[in-house]
Amino acid sequence: MFYTKSAKGFKFYEIRAPHKRCRVCGSHLKDYGGKKDQMHPFGALVGDVWTDIHRIRHNTRRDEHPCQLPIHLLERIVLMSTDPGDLVLDPFLGTGTTAIAAKALGRHYIGLEIDPFYKQIAEAKLARVTPSLYRGGYVSYYLGNIQSIRDIDAKALFPPQLTATEKKRKANAVDPAAEFDSTSHPGLKKSRRPARMPSAETHPAFFEPRNPPPAAYTNGCADGQGLCDC
Ligand SMILES: C[S@@+](CC[C@H](N)C(=O)[O-])C[C@H]1O[C@@H](n2cnc3c(N)ncnc32)[C@H](O)[C@@H]1O
């Protein structure tokens, strides 16, 4: 739970987690209302309830501490509430999860732990921590995959991709400056000018009459278009 007496100096950053995928085939589990091509290139914003972070199940990843927290849970909280270079305090450090998360994410830390055995484990683990980076930005990994990033870092880490419609438009784009004959539309604003003016050479079908009048109607007809009764 986050609580503040005043918004001044309070930090709260939105977090993104990877889109949920099928464990077998790897495809996305949500179709985002048929707008998959508009999905964020990394993942969706996380909500208030986090179901993607689980307790530590394997003894190989567990210290001799009864309530050790998963490192990527603390990393998400640190990312969410601090900037690189900030100071993180955990007055009940246990085997050091908070301090390890802070160090990996480029934050300073202070930890207090009453039990010398837990303190010893924390210090040994802290000595081995390396920065948790991706493309020069701090992110949280779990089992080799990025688990959490801050939304404000997302643009730099995962540049937005073109949607299918934008890709199509880009592929068909012509250079308006090269194509447009400004003498024919001098009054039009540049942004509203058509990129390419159709001509009988470039679009012959466009200039052909759709329903040419039958020859019988036009022969000898006064207006020459078969619109009269003659
Ligand atoms: C819930 S555990 C923290 C576990 C930690 N988050 C982790 O992931 O390892 C709380 C810790 O606070 C320590 N503790 C309890 N009373 C304390 C006190 N007065 N001063 C410092 N540490 C204390 C306990 O020894 C215990 O390791």
What is the distance between the alpha carbons of residues 162 and 51, in angstroms, rounded to a whole number?
Answer: 30
Closest CA to 101 of 116, 121, 84: 84
Tally of CA atoms within 13 A in the half-sphere of 141 that contains its CB = 14
Distances (CA, A) of 185 to 7, 94, 110, 188, 197: 55, 75, 69, 6, 10
**Residue 226 pLDDT greater than 80, yes or no:** no
| pLDDT given at position 57 | 82
Q: Taking the CB of residue 229, how many other CB atoms lie within 10 A of it?
A: 6
Which amino acid residue places its CA nearest to atom 20 of ligand 1?
A: 114
- Residue of minimum CA distance from atom 17 in ligand 1: 114
For ligand 1, atom 19, name the residue with the nearest CA: 114
Q: Tokens 């307790």 — which residue? A: 55
Q: Which of 65, 73, 93 to mutate to test the pocket of ligand 1 (most atoms within 8 A of CB)?
A: 93
Domains and their CATH numbers in the chain: 15-157 (3.40.50), 174-209 (no CATH)
The Cα 165–Cα 155 span in angstroms is: 20
Contact predicate 86/107, CB 8 Å: yes
Residue 89: CB atoms within 10 Å = 13
Do residues 65 and 54 make contact, with C-beta atoms less than 8 angstroms apart?
no
**Residue the block writes with tokens 């880009």:** 170
Interval 175-216: pLDDT, tens: 655 555 555 556 655 555 455 555 666 666 655 555 554 454
| Contacting residues for 190 by C-beta, under 8 A, at least 6 apart | 176
CA distance linking residue 142 with residue 127, whole number of Å: 20
pTM flag (> 0.85): no
Nearest CA to ligand 1 atom 3: 94
Q: Range with the lowest mean pLDDT among 37-41, 124-128, 140-144? A: 37-41
Q: What percentage of the chain carries pLDDT values higher than 90?
A: 49
**pLDDT tens digits for 89-121?**
999 999 999 999 999 999 999 999 999 999 999
Instruction: Report the C-alpha dihedral over residues 172, 176, 181, 186, rounded to 10 degrees.
Output: 130
Instruction: Please report the beta strands in 74-144, taking only residues with DSSP state E, as ranges in sequence order.
Output: 87-90, 108-111, 133-134, 137-138, 140-142
Average pLDDT over residues 35-63: 88
Using an 8 Å Cβ cutoff, are 148 and 72 in contact? yes
Instruction: Work out the average pLDDT over 65-80.
Output: 95
- Size (the chain), residues: 230
Atom 4 of ligand 1, nearest CA residue: 94
Q: What residues are in contact with ligand 1 under a 6 Å CB criterion? A: 65, 67-69, 92, 94-95, 97, 112-115, 118
CA of 102 to the centre of ligand 1 (A): 17
Say what the pLDDT of residue 217 is. 43
The tokens of 60 are what? 């190989």
CA angle 118, 123, 125 (to 5 degrees): 95
Output the pLDDT for position 44: 93
Angstrom CA distances, 43 to 19, 32, 144, stand at 5, 12, 16
Ligand 1: residue of 55, 110, 113, 126 to mutate (most ligand atoms within 8 A of CB) is 113
Distance (Å) from CA 73 to ligand 1 centroid: 17
> How far, in Å, CA of 208 to CA of 200, rounded?
8
